[in-house]
Structure 1
Amino acid sequence: ALFEREQVLSEAGRLVEALDSIKGFVNSYPQHKLLPEALYRSAELSLSLNDPAAAVGPLKRLILLYPSHIAAKKALVLVGEIKASGVAFRWISPEERLSRGKRLLDGAHYVDAAKEFSQLLKCGNDAVAESAAVQLAITQIKQKRFDGAEKVLSEYLKRKPDAKNEAEALYYMGYAAVRRDDIASLLKIEKRLEERAPDSPELAGVLLLAGHYFDDSGERAKAGAYYRRIISEFSESPSVVEAYWKTGWAEYLAGNYNEAIKAFAPALKKNVKPARMRSQMVYWYARASEKSGRTDDAAGAYELTCGIDKKSYYCQLSEERLAGVPAGSISGAGGPVKQVPAGVEFKTDVTADDGADAGKSRVDISFESRYQAAAELIVLGQNSKASAELGLLSDEYKGDRTAIMEIGWLLQDAGDYASALTAYRRLMGGGPDELSQAACVLIDELGYPMRLVESIKQNAPEGPADPFLVAAIMREESGFNPEAVSPVGALGVMQIMPKTGEASAKEAGAEYSGPNDLFKPEVSIRLGSWYLGNVSRLVGNDLVLTIASYNAGPRAVLRWGAPRPDDVDEFIENIPYSETRYYVKRVIRTYAEYLKLAGFNPKDRWTRPFITPLGGARSVSGGQISATGDAPVTR
């Protein structure tokens, strides 16, 4: 197509035609993943044709809109060359640089974002400089540089910003204070906000921070007072949902189930946001109802949890508990959750059983030239080019769910599981209720590729690493993107830190020549699987502790992982690190989806159910675990 044609024309020396071709691509596909490279090629061709002024526009667009892309870094070099040549042109304004910095921040490129904001502090534009100061502080908080953030915000507040901006800065100062364990500073900020912005959402946010601090310190009464104040005085604040949750959870843990029900009850209303928090509160409303003997209320709330989000972690828990509702008893579950052995057999041929709408598109879209070209390129082993063709075709059919599903299947054929996952998410955006059950099964295989499990079994070292769990971790760590880089430097599909990769390769006896090897899926899978199997053994093959260890490191997990409550759902909700807590929930959800697609009932594949359904038997097993453990893979 246009992108490929430009390369052919450039190689033939037909630069004017090549430039026209790449401009056509830029204009026709403004959202395509190849656009950054196309903008760079457009600028290069303009320079080759001795028209540096024409190169400025594409370079500026590239640097502003795609600041973290490798093409943007090359573009900065070209800009330097144009400046050195003496060509006069209008470059990026302070406002545009601020926007660029925000894009870097949103993309988690914190080092580059901090550099951009720091340079803007003395740009000569007071409004931009003040905004840059706050953005720099937010960036430093993301980097866990809390002292630096506090210093930047203190200087900013000396400029006496307006009330709204002052309140925002004070909130972030409070956040930094809590993370520095400086409760005295947080309480001073609370008083200042009470004087300067008594009705602001920032004050509600600071009160919530104080509640969290006292919660974590074991001062439940003080924490509860803060949460109740938010509920009574800031009913319209975004913080109020979290305050209801914290209040209800404290009552639940204390065994005050009726009070917990009252606190969780607002989530039964449709206007509670975000949906994730609503699912969480409705689920625990059901659990509290169950504990207090209100089985019918519990069953209704479990059903509502799945109505909010059928694919959520909490829906999976609800389905498990609903399985035993007729028995009408209340029971917990104990002991470690065991994983599926690596050598287990599973079915991968999941097909529609009712001739539903799911398979219709294979004929409908096959006439498209891009589809045909992609299929031929896959046969020739040129998977990256095939993926590019399918990306263009996906843009053309973005409103056609049937076509998108077929494109997703061919993306999997090309080994591009990341783009296939994007197709899956686009399909699910329309809502699964619009599709037949058979169609949903086929669509799920785009989001949870079973053929990847087979690839994992081929690339992973022999041992106890569960291939379904490896696939689930890949999906949640990187979205199957082999080029993924985390803000802290974890690399590849399994998001392995370079030091962990080197140590794992040495212990596993695997070939490893350096961090760039982690971008190779087969290497990342092999080392990540080895590490996962190793930490799994350290924690007694306990599913929850294994997942948590992959994120936070086994040493940290073993500090708080035992003893634990019999009910595993309660244990997960009490994981002390919020990042690890959410991570465990996401991976468990994905793991269960893989097991279902493979033909298993998740609770039947574990040594015991993840949680015991209403009416199930109570069993307790497990013992003390002791191990040393490695550094975390992904933190």
Structure 2
Amino acid sequence: MYMVTLRNILCVFTLLVLVGCSSSTQTPTPAPTPQSTLVRGAAGLPPAVTEAAQTPIPVSTATATTGPSPTPSPIPSPTVTLPPNERMVLAQEAERIGEWDMALSLYQSLSIEAGHGASALFRLGDLYLRDDREVEAALAWQEALNREPNGPLAPFLKYRLARGLAALGRHESAIGLWQEIDAAIDDVDDVLADHMADSYLALGDVDQAAAQWQRIYETESAPRVSRALAARQVGKWHADNQRSAEAMAWYAQTLELSQVHTFRAELLWEMARMAQALGDEPAARAQWHTLFQEYPDTPQGLSAAEALKSAGEAISSYQMGELYFKNKRWNEAARAFFTSLESEADLPAAHQQAALALEQSGNYAASFKEWRKIVETHAEAIDLQDDAWLGMGRAHVELGDMDVAIATLEQTVAQYPKGDAAPEALWLLGVARREQGANDVAAATFERLATTYPEAARVNEALWQAGMMRYRAGQAAAGQADFTLLATYEAEETNRALFWAGKAAQLAGNHQAAVEYWAKAAATDKADYYTLRAADLLNHTPWQPRAQEPFSNPARDDFAWLYKAADLPPSANLLALPEEPRIQRGKTLLLLGERGAAFETFREAIREQENPQALWAMANDFRAANLPSMSIVAATRLMELLEYNVRTVPPRLAMLAYPLPYESQLRTVATQGGFDPLIFAALIHQESTWEPRARSSAAARGLTQVIPDTGKWIAQRLNDPTYRYHHLDRPVVALRYGSYYLDYVLGVFNDNPFKALAAYNSGPGNARRWDAADDDLFVENIPLRETRYYIERLYEHWHGYQRAYRQTP
């Protein structure tokens, strides 16, 4: 989303108020550079443009060596002026790759050019904002609007200014601008209505806000969630105005739109409260019963049960315990079950449920007592005896009483060999033995589980654990047997088992058997990590991050596969975009600065598209619009639709799914760092899918997702005093910093790509703790699923890049 902090908005619009800015007042034009800046060969700018330059200008380029940082580069006085059209091309390319100083200088020079001024100022304002220069951004936008108050960019300029006015509290002025925008553009009515509703609410005009919410609900192109939330707001407005029938009708419409379990429960509870307030007890009870029966795992379901109980309906303590349990309120659940045992009946099931609740709360000692009561005082509960013995064993494991736990679990298996508890007891026995360091016994126990209970839920996990324990202990033959058996059980991950059976055979010195296992894995139609690893080991293809093997973008114009898949005649236009309103809506959102909402709209359109030709056209259109992440989404969807993978995808499609949008800069930093450009491309693909403004929950930023602390550390190592965290939104900076860190971790781990990439993702300290001489064993040692998945997916992406740029069809 297009986000501006309140503090910054206040600064901006306070200044605008002081200088008297409005749609009818002139503001100073940002001072343009007297002549446009020219650069020869700057960071991969188009040769046709850069060759026109007469004076070379140093620019920011990524490097893996230390030294003074050129970020951001000062722009010397230009010496020659290009025609405006060429300057605009140069400015846009400089902005795209992150040479912001150059782009700003060029946009400033274009701001006084007839036919280019408003467009240049519009872009200039957006770029100022991205560079945290909010005052200059507002001035540029206002000047652009003054230049062309009725021009094609006017609605988008007004949108930016209206958001600022609303943040400043000038809601009347903001509403006026929202209304002008609303009259000018048609495909984002819900977005504008949402802003107007907020402003009307701030002014205390709830009736007008409700009218805007109703507009959102009636906008069929609006996201379903937005429509549901708006309908709920309209219902609440009616309820607040004592119009119960209308409120109930709107809540019912909200229920029709909402698919979110918890949201529906909240609505039903509101409807019940409204009915109760009106004295309609039967209607209230009907809603409570619905909540009690269909939403027992929600707070509203629990509250409904309590309401029914207060109303005199028979809700037992045992039932209340079940509800507390489903809501994960473990202590209250245990108390309810104890109340049931004291006041209702001494049921073994109540002891069982109390024991389970106590386990979840971490009170294993109390849990053990409840399990023991079932064994000692409820021998008649034959169907619970095995669970009770298992529960006692589990409690001892959690309490650290391993010897007692092992004896209890062995007794469980011996006494109840045919129940569901026996295989679970064997699993816990294996875990307990492993905790004691008795790995051979643990592995044997896991193997016993697999052979005795081949249909058990944990059989695959047990064989995997046994196989890995045998492999780590150098017991190659036993490990090979475990993995071979696992390959017959685990349909979803057969290739993982075959791969490790080959590794075990190789460890045993049986090269021929290893080859056979890997060949079987590689022969499947899959292209997951283990399939690709098996093929690489089979073909003696090491993953060499320092390889400098050339790659290219060869012209491959064979589209027979697409004509066939889309059932099109040879004369068909493959780039014809589908009539998809969401694509236009997304583009409008981009112009408004709502990038996040635009991307979600694009994704929705792509997800629902079933036409191969349409997806091909969309992928190419996104690429042309410099939206590589969306191009990747469309191309990946096309691959899935046609059942291609990284081993079978046609190269042209591979180039869309695995693009190189900053190829010149990528080649430069890879050359300086001395590593394969395509492994860095695969890293960026995994980190950000080439979205320069990508953010993560850990505050990582930019193409290479550098986190704040790492960014500061790299800046110190590069002696870059000009570095600011938001500079990572600039591709040239993100590439420079990311490439430096990749080169660093490669150096730390002796150019081992598996360990270096694990370090890139989760830190060198973690990678050292997981160390193993065997690269594949190192990956399996990683306890963090996120990091393991990161390496696996990056390996797959690297193969995709190999397919696109280093292999022939």
Report the TM-score when normalising by structure 2. 0.51
Question: Separation in 2 of the partners of 1:424 and 1:166?
Answer: 53
What's the CA shift for 1:587?
Answer: 2.7
Q: Does 1:35 align with 2:228?
A: no
Hey, what does 1:366 align to over in structure 2? 577
Q: Give the structure 2 partner of residue 306 of structure 1.
A: 522
Letter in 1 for 2:532: Q
Of residues 355, 377, 394 in structure 1, which corresponds to 2:606? 394
Opposite residue 558 of structure 2, the aligned amino acid is D
Structure-to-structure mapping, 1:287-298, within 5 angstroms = 287-289=503-505, 298=514
User: Larger deviation: 231-240 or 532-541?
Assistant: 532-541
Question: Over alpha carbons, which structure has the higher Rg?
Answer: 2
Q: Which residue of 1 aligns with 2:463?
A: 244
Task: Give deviations 1:531-575, integer Å, cap 9, x for gaps.
Answer: 44433332233212111213442123234536x24xx33444455
Q: Contact conserved, 2:390 with 2:412, CA < 8 A, in 1?
A: yes
Q: Distance in 2 between matches of 1:249 and 1:588?
A: 22
Letter of the 2:611 counterpart? D
SS of structure 2 residue aligned to 1:449: coil
What is the alpha-carbon distance in structure 2 between the residues aligned to residue 175 and residue 3 of structure 1?
Answer: 60
Residue number in structure 2 paired with 1:593: 800
The 8 Å contact of residues 188 and 588 in structure 2, kept in 1 or not, is answered as no
Structure 1 pair 217/184, CA: closer, same or farther in 2 (3 Å)?
closer
On the 8 A contact 2:496/2:530 being kept in 1, the answer is: yes
Distance 2:225 2:732 in 1: 28
Kept in 2, the 8 Å contact 1:373–1:389? The answer is: no
Could you say what secondary structure the match of 2:768 adopts? helix
Q: Are the aligned partners of 1:461 and 1:530 in contact in 2 as well (CA < 8 Å)?
A: no
Give CA deviations for 1:511-547 in whole Å, capped at 9, x if unaligned.
7777x99899888766655544433332233212111
Deviation at residue 264 of structure 1 after TM alignment: 2.5
1:436 is displaced (CA, Å) by 11
The change in CA–CA distance for 1:309 and 1:495 in structure 2 (over 3 A counts) is farther
Could you tell me which amino acid in structure 2 is paired with residue 219 of structure 1? Answer: A
Asked if residue 6 in structure 1 is aligned to residue 218 in structure 2, the reply is: no
TM-score, normalization: structure 1?
0.63
Q: Point out where structure 2 has 5 or more consecutive residues left out of the alignment.
A: 1-184, 201-207, 300-316, 333-357, 375-380
The equivalent of 2:497 in structure 1 is 281
Q: Alpha-carbon deviations, 1:105-163, whole Å to 9, x = none?
A: xxxxxxxxxxxxxxxxx9983222123339999xxxxxxxxx99552676677777997
The answer to whether 1:151 aligns with 2:362 is yes
Corresponding residue of 2:537: 321
Aligned partner of 2:217: which letter? Answer: K
Q: Distance in 1 between matches of 2:216 and 2:558?
A: 46
* Residue from 212, 224, 236 that aligns with 2:443: 224
Aligned-partner Cα distance in 2 for 1:571–1:483: 29
Deviation at 1:61, TM superposition (A): 8.4
| 2:614 equivalent among 397, 403, 407 | 403
In structure 1, C-alpha distance between the alignment counterparts of 2:421 and 2:631, rounded to whole Å? 40
SS in structure 1 of the partner of residue 517 of structure 2: helix
Q: 1:38-74 CA distances to partner (integer Å, 9 max, x unpaired)?
A: 333343455567665566567778997287xxxx8xx
* C-alpha separation in 1, matches of 2:537 and 2:616: 33
Note the residue ranges of structure 1 that are not aligned, 5 or more in a row: 102-121, 138-146, 325-331, 602-635
Distance between the aligned counterparts of 2:209 and 2:624, measured in 1?
A: 35
User: 1:36 corresponds to which letter in structure 2?
Assistant: V
CA distance in 1 between counterparts of 2:504 and 2:737 reads 42
Q: Which amino acid aligns with 1:224?
A: A
**Distance verdict in 2 for CA 1:538–1:287, change over 3 Å:** closer
Larger CA deviation: 35-44 vs 575-584: 575-584
Aligned match of 1:449 in 659, 665, 675? 659
Which residue does 2:320 correspond to in 1?
125
Shift of 1:366: 1.9
Aligned pairs, how many? 536
Note if 1:546 corresponds to 2:756. Answer: yes
Report if aligned partners of 2:423, 2:449 keep a CA contact under 8 Å in 1: yes
Q: Distance in 2 between matches of 1:353 and 1:366?
A: 20
- Quick check: 1:23 aligned with 2:227? no
Secondary structure of the 1:232 match is helix
| CA 1:316–1:372: 2 relative to 1, 3 Å | closer
Counterparts of 2:663 and 2:384 in 1: how far apart (Å)?
51
Contact 1:175 1:206 in 2 (8 A): no
For the Cα contact (< 8 Å) 1:46–1:54, is it kept in 2?
yes
Contact kept? 2:635, 2:657, Cα under 8 Å = yes
The residue type paired with residue 799 of structure 2 is: A
Query: Does residue 65 of structure 1 match 2:260?
Result: yes
The alignment partner of 1:353 has SS state of coil
Q: Distance in 2 between matches of 1:287 and 1:202?
A: 34
Distance across 2 between alignment mates of 1:164 and 1:58: 46
Please name the residue that 2:768 is paired with.
558
Report if aligned partners of 2:635, 2:656 keep a CA contact under 8 Å in 1: yes
Structure 2 counterparts to residues 415-426 of structure 1, below 5 A: 420-424=631-635, 426=637
1:40–1:58 CA contact under 8 A, matched in 2: no
Displacement of 1:405: 4.0
Change in CA separation of 1:524 and 1:35 when aligned onto 2, cut-off 3 Å: farther
Look up the SS of the partner of 2:190 in the other structure: helix
Equivalences for residues 73-222 of structure 1 within 5 A: 93=291, 125-133=320-328, 149=360, 151=362, 183=402, 187=406, 190=409, 194=413, 199=418, 204-205=423-424, 207-208=426-427, 210-211=429-430, 214-215=433-434, 218-222=437-441
SS in 1 for 2:560: coil
1:216–1:159 Cα change, 3 Å: closer
Residue 339 (structure 1) aligns with: 545
CA distance in 1, matches of 2:671, 2:454: 54
- CA displacement at 1:282 relative to structure 2: 0.9
Q: Name the counterpart of 1:613.
A: none
User: Which residue number corresponds to residue 133 of structure 2?
Assistant: none
AA of the residue aligned to 2:579 = E
Encode CA deviations 1:371-421: one digit per residue, 9 max, x unaligned. 773696599686656545534533552x33443343344445556555555
The 1:491–1:152 alpha-carbon spacing in structure 2 relative to 1, beyond 3 Å, is farther
Offset at 1:237?
Answer: 1.4
Q: Is the 8 A contact 1:465 1:529 kept in 2?
A: no
**Relative to 1, partners in 2 of residues 1:65 and 1:455: Cα closer, same or farther, differing over 3 Å?**
farther
Of 545, 558, 573, 1:353 maps to: 558
1:128 maps to a residue whose letter is L
Residues 289 and 555 (structure 1), Cα distance of their counterparts in 2 relative to 1, 3 Å cut:
closer
Q: Secondary structure at the match of 1:569?
A: helix
How far does residue 492 in structure 1 lie from its aligned partner after superposition?
Answer: 5.2
Following superposition, the deviation at residue 7 of structure 1 comes to 4.0
Superimposed CA distance per residue, residues 201-222 of structure 1 (whole angstroms, 9 cap, x where no aligned partner): 5653564455356557653322
Give SS of 1:451's match: coil
Q: Are the counterparts in 2 of residues 302 and 318 from structure 1 also a CA contact under 8 Å? A: yes
- Give the superposed CA RMSD: 5.7
Rate the CA distance shift 1:230–1:521 in 2: closer, same or farther, 3 A. farther
- Alignment deviations for residues 413-450 of structure 1 (CA, whole Å, 9 cap, x no partner): 5565555555455444456369995x543443454333
Query: What is the identity, as a one-letter code, of the residue corresponding to 1:400?
Result: N
